[in-house]
A and B are shown apart, each in its own frame.
Chain A
Amino acid sequence: MSQETLPSQFPDAVSAVEVNADKAQRARDAHTEVRELLEGDPTLSGWGVSTRLIGSYARDTGRYPGKDVDVFIQLTELDTSATPKEVYEQVRGILVGAYGDAKDGGRAGPQARSIKVDFPDRDNPAVEFSVDAVPAVVDGTRWAIPTKDQSRWQNSTGRWVTTDPIGFADLSSALSTASWSPTVAGRNAYKPVVKLLKQIRHVHLRDARPRGLFTEIAAYDVWNGGQVIGTSWAVLLAQTLRQVAQRFQACASTGLPDPVLLTAMQPDLEPQLWLDAAQVFTGLADDADTALQSERCAAAAIWRRILGENERGQVLPLPQGCDANGFPISHVSPVTGSGIDEPRGFAVHRQRR
């Protein structure tokens, strides 16, 4: 039996979870503004400051609406002999000085090891958008960022955490351009499927862990291992759900390896959290497989439950001729003109009195 892959609806679902070009440009502009501010500081300049976008914006795996932009402040002339407090306070002083402290109504909010700067939308102040800037020092061939526990910053050990966010971005890019990596209609499918997966995680796990980064790494794992094969969005997403569910199951005993450092991702989850997530994703994978074997309207209803909605509305649009409960409808509303189709003039209104 041929599978119902909703080829007209899934491209819309993909675009529904992607950050639009305007937002992406805003992310780049915000990064530029912060970079110029930091690079203009003599102290940071002397520390060899160089900033980069990291995180989901850099990897292009962020799901809509994409509220947070991560900026990596590389201090190339410092290493882990520097104290996190000195480095953090220097960056904090610059950003709070420029944007004001959030606790006093400003835009810069010091976090555990980073500074978060709000960039409200000029047209929609209610739209949240912020840059999270974290300082990093050289750690051999990697980088190190301050540990989240500030009480340990004065210790001789354990005050820095090794990381390589740029390395993961490079791996993601490699996977999304590999010739063997699955494509849909000529477009590499890895990053769009990761966005859809993150949307699903957001809908069905909410604030429970694993969160977006861990889910993305699990997806990277199964895709890089060639465990996901297909030529349609629906099939690739269904297989990803299944394989990630199994990955989560395994993580309960082994943890989730960092694809760059090859050590366990920190902070690790309690095994039960992995098992709970595995159970949820297994159920979703079962639903996805059912959808593939269903007729169009029923399949759409199942996928709509799986993908949920975001600020733009339902991620997967209804196919024409289907109702929201998954049943065909005999006719749609008479949206063609019921009277004269030729429009009248541009009047304000016409009241019959």
Chain B
Amino acid sequence: MGASGSEPLEPYDQPAYERFCRALVTAGFEPVPGTLRRDWRGPIRPSLSPLTGANRMTVRFRDGWPHVSVVLLVPELLAEHVTHGGQICLWADDDPAQQSASDIENLWQRADEWAAAARAGFGPTDAALDAFAHFDSHATPIAELDLPGISLTFMHGSMGALYARQHRLTLQLTATHQRDTELYGHWYAVDHVNPLPRTLNDIRNALTNAQRRNLDRGLRRRDPHEHGKGGHDLLVLTWPRHHAREALVVTLSGAPPNVSAAAHQVTATDTASLTARAGPDAEALHPKRVLLIGAGSVGGHLALAAATTGIGHLSIADNDTLLQVNVVRHVCGSKYVGWQKTDAVKHLIGEHAPATTVDTLAAVPLAPTALTAAIIGYDLVIDATGQAPVTAALAGTCAGVAIPLITVALYHAGVLLRVRRQAPTDTPLTARPGDPSYLQLPPDDPTTRDPGFLELGCLAPINNAPPTSAATAAALTAIIAVDLLTGRLDYPDETVQVLRPLTTAPFDRVGLVTP
């Protein structure tokens, strides 16, 4: 988020800004010369006095005011949720409630609440693993760290070797030496850290005697010109915090005895952290097995969406090869040209959702007995072929063995997409044509129908559905699949989405159309 800039503030609400500044004057604040009236200094807020020896504080305007609140800067403030420089964190950067601080009374009220929490102890809603933000100095690469991969226990006083390499804008830490390791250091685990360390010396003071001796030895052997050679280039301090585990990653610079430290923002790389981003259904979806038939423009996107949402096992069937012309609509890019589509999608899923197992099939047989044998054991079959014969074969076969089926297809050059679900309690697909409770899609108008386009090597015109239609179809199908697999069944058994209006009602307006 932008801090004080080199240009005067351009508030989004000039009258409110001027009222705010007037209120600052009334409260005894004056603009700091040379800051273009972005910084105002004045008397310390009484509620903050017990927390600092300073008697003055700064109110700083940031670009985006009043949508972005001012920040308060109080020197010598020792508390949590105070960054380097004494900036009090009154709101998270993305908290819309900060806009209320366009009224200065709301700002003071929030500051008083913060002060009260700082004295009495912050609550669970204030929990944040933000130790790096309190450190006096920061370094740019984001440190990627797999804590469970380093140690399972982290007993107080434990420690171990650590290696790191820089990959573009990240610093990747591991407990084992890799061929391209650039930095060497140690991790140290303690039971408790208070206050949050702001300097290398603070870190040292938090260690046990044995850990401190190890650190001191590592610092003495430091050679700033020879990384990874035995002296410490980095260190990690880890301790329990907010019912989780905090990690402060710092890299070192300079030569002994003048070694300095800078903290890195830290992000986790363990499976649990990845799974946490899969959404609330990930745990319920992990045991599920899904057969996806068709790995084309819709199927490819669908496979990736299904895997990243947490489905534990995917079997993907398709006998097609990914070609250069496919990459415009396909989820796999140029580096997969020449691969079987199924292998390409499997590889891509491995990069995004490593917890999902994938196997690939060249095709599914269409003969009834063989098809039945192929689908047994799955919790759901998804047809993304867009081929009516395959859909028809699957509809009957799945109904025969009570295995749910979801089928998706695009119509009218991607203007319409339809997702049909056939769960054991739904009307079978074969019974829907002619059933007035189901929507009959309008036929193509022969006079205006887009014939597609001819292309080398193709036996028929190419469907001109745009990539966005394929991606939308895939996303909607994945949502309906999750809805079925979790047992919610909030969606109807047939959903049509109109992406551009046709002339025939009810498809003459955009949006979802359900029977």
Residues of A bordering B, CB below 8 Å: 12, 15-16, 20-22, 65, 123-124, 126-127, 311-314, 317-324, 332-353
Contacts and interface: CB of A to CB of B under 8 A. Distances in A.
A323 B114 contact: no
A343 B95 contact: yes
B504 interface: no
B420 interface: no
A312 B33 contact: no
Contacts of B336: none
Contacts of A342: 97
B16 A347 contact: no
Interface string B76-100: 0000010100000111111111111
A176 B93 CA distance: 51
Given A12-B22, A20-B25, A333-B13, A350 B92 contact: yes
Contacts of A336: 99-100
26 contacts: A12-B22, A15-B22, A124-B33, A317-B18, A321-B15, A332-B15, A332-B16, A333-B12, A333-B13, A333-B67, A336-B99, A337-B99, A342-B97, A343-B95, A345-B126, A346-B89, A346-B90, A347-B81, A347-B128, A347-B130, A348-B89, A348-B133, A349-B89, A349-B94, A350-B128, A351-B93
Contacts of B14: 318, 323-324
B15 A341 contact: no
B114 A346 contact: yes
B143 to A, nearest CB: 13
B400 interface: no
A337 B102 CA distance: 10
B97 A126 contact: no
B15 A338 contact: no
B31 interface: yes
Given A124-B41, A313-B37, A348-B81, 9 more contacts: A65-B30, A311-B33, A335-B16, A343-B91, A345-B128, A346-B81, A346-B114, A348-B83, A348-B130
B178 interface: no
A317 B15 contact: yes
A345 B125 contact: yes
Contacts of A12: 22
Nearest to B16: A335
Given A127-B33, A347-B81, A347-B130, A337 B89 contact: no
A22 B18 contact: no
A318 B81 contact: no
Contact of A347 (B30, B92, B96): B92
B66 interface: yes
Nearest to A321: B15
B259 interface: no
Nearest to B15: A318
A195 to B, nearest CB: 14
Contact of B99 (A16, A319, A338): A338
A319 B15 CA distance: 6
Nearest to B103: A335
B269 to A, nearest CB: 11
Which of A318, A322, A344, A346 has the most chain B CB atoms inside 10 A of its CB?
Answer: A346
B267 interface: yes
Contacts of B100: 336-337, 341, 343
A349 B66 contact: no
A15 B93 contact: no
What is the predominant secondary structure among interface residues of chain B facing chain A?
Answer: mixed
A186 to B, nearest CB: 19
Given A336-B99, A338-B99, A347-B89, A318 B66 contact: no
A353 to B, nearest CB: 7
A282 to B, nearest CB: 29
A65 B89 CA distance: 32
B388 interface: no
A324 B11 CA distance: 12
Nearest to A341: B97
A348 B293 CA distance: 46
Nearest to A339: B96
A177 B382 CA distance: 90
Nearest to B12: A333
B19 interface: yes
Nearest to A317: B18
A22 B21 contact: no
Which of A15, A16, A123, A324 has the most chain B CB atoms inside 10 A of its CB?
Answer: A123
A321 B114 CA distance: 33
Nearest to B102: A335
Contacts of B89: 346-349
Given A332-B13, A333-B13, A340-B97, A349 B25 contact: no
Contacts of A322: 15
A341 B25 contact: no
Contacts of A340: 96-97
B96 A341 contact: yes
B94 to A, nearest CB: 6
B436 interface: no
B51 to A, nearest CB: 13
Contacts of A350: 92-95, 128
B93 A313 contact: no
A343 B81 contact: no
Query: Would you list the 4 A-B pairs with minimal beta carbon distance, nearest first?
Result: A339-B96, A343-B97, A317-B18, A345-B125
B15 A343 contact: no
A89 B26 CA distance: 43
B188 to A, nearest CB: 23
B110 interface: yes
A346 B126 contact: yes
B97 A337 contact: yes
A307 to B, nearest CB: 13
Given A335-B102, A345-B126, A20 B30 contact: yes
A320 B17 CA distance: 10
A297 B17 CA distance: 17
A83 B275 CA distance: 91
A320 B19 CA distance: 9
B18 A314 contact: yes
Contact of B96 (A123, A318, A324, A338): A338
Given A336-B100, A338-B96, A344-B97, A320 B15 contact: yes
Which of B22, B28, B34, B98 has the most chain A CB atoms inside 10 A of its CB?
Answer: B22
B18 A20 contact: no
Contact of A349 (B18, B56, B67, B92): B92
Contacts of B13: 332-333, 335
Nearest to A323: B14
Contacts of B99: 334-338
